[in-house]
Amino acid sequence: MEDKLELIENFVGRTDIYAIQKMDGTFNPSDSNAVKEFLKNRGLTIDINQSILEKHLEEEITIGTYLLNESKCRFLIIESVDADSDGFAQIITTSKKLGLSDFVIEYARDGAFRFWYLFEQLIPAHKIKKLGEIFENELYQLKIKALPSQDMVYNYGSLVKLPLGINKESGDRSYFVDIGGRRINNPSINKIPEAIVDRILDRRRQHTAKVLGKRVRANNNRHTVHTAIHDLPCYQAIVQGVPQGFRDECSILLAKKLIQQSIPKHDCLDYLLDKWNPRNEPPISNEVIIERVNQLYSMQDSREIMETGTSCSGDSVISRFCQSHCDHYIHEYRAPNLGNKEIFLDYLKSIGQPVTESECHRDLNWIFVPRHLVTDLAERGVIKIATGQEQIFELV
């Protein structure tokens, strides 16, 4: 028992409180009225001590540990919700790729595993949460969950069942396994210094900056509507973060723009999760972003994706962040009749400045044209701008 107690102490988060699992699998905190009465009748306390851990190992109670101590944490947990042998191996491979070769694997329940990465001391939870998001991005095709899912305590914070206990709902007892999936009793406990976490996060930031700096700039010779995010003032405003009510739409807009630039999915996720989302007020759920990006990349060659962002006036989200001084600011052309509009479209095509069908209101005689082209056409005497109406011009 002493060996097990010494082992299990490595997996305890907060010591001032814990949770008791009920028969339906849910947990109640030890300071709740119902649990306090239960503990009092058994001579137990609401804080974790050796007696509590012994009861857990003896299967009298099953306890869960709260991971966050205010805004700090001692470990990262990667939980495979539905891991097959390939998924199990992929988590191990990703761990080593990131430079995390020290971890403990717990068989939790029904083929699901938890990978525990134990740290030498309490470190800021936002770093661990960011590290967990890197795992989720790298392994987006698997059903995994990274804990802690918060970077500071809200209510009680992230909770996980302590290893080696019995699951009150299923009756299964968890145990430790090696990298081959074989059951072991005494896993090696090698704790990870904070410097390694910092190194991984710095390397990922540098990689993201490199990809989204060089690779995006390499596409600047494309048509105006397909230029890089940072070349358009409206997108520059969006990447600085957006308020609630615009976050979901803007995440979709940015992802579509990166798809147009042939940016790989993992780099798109890195940008949206690591650079853009923290700037939002408040940040949107990372799970939502991952779901949106996966969906958009599955349809990346579709017309809906490739024609996004073709006009400021035609997109309510872009127009919300439109900068009227922008060289790409959209003017509207109002044709007196359909024939004139068709003539104008043919002319734009003949001079190598075609306007795509999505840039035209199909039911109205309006066409959206970039400001620089308006100026050029006016100098050529092709159009004239209506007096006192900056955004309306007519075919001469």
pLDDT of residue 396: 57
Contact 270, 322 (CB under 8 A): no
Q: For residue range 365-391, what is the model confidence (pLDDT) as tens digits?
A: 556 566 666 666 777 776 666 554 445
Q: For residue range 37-74, what is the model confidence (pLDDT) as tens digits?
A: 888 888 889 999 999 999 999 888 999 999 988 788 99
Distance in angstroms (rounded) separating the CA atoms of residues 387 and 215: 43
Q: Give 394's DSSP letter.
A: E
Distance in angstroms (rounded) separating the CA atoms of residues 352 and 261: 21
In the predicted model, is pLDDT for residue 155 greater than 80? no
Q: For residue range 72-88, what is the model confidence (pLDDT) as tens digits?
A: 899 999 988 665 557 88
| Mean predicted confidence (pLDDT) in 16-25 | 91
In the predicted model, is pLDDT for residue 151 greater than 70? yes
Q: Which residue has the higher pLDDT, 221 or 124?
A: 124
| Mean predicted confidence (pLDDT) in 2-8 | 85
Q: Which residue has the higher pLDDT, 132 or 299?
A: 132
Contact 149, 159 (CB under 8 A): no
Specify which residues 165 forms β-bridges with: none
**How would residue 149 be classed by pLDDT, with cut points 50, 70 and 90?**
confident
Per-residue CA distances from 189 to 101, 140, 192 (Å): 12, 28, 10
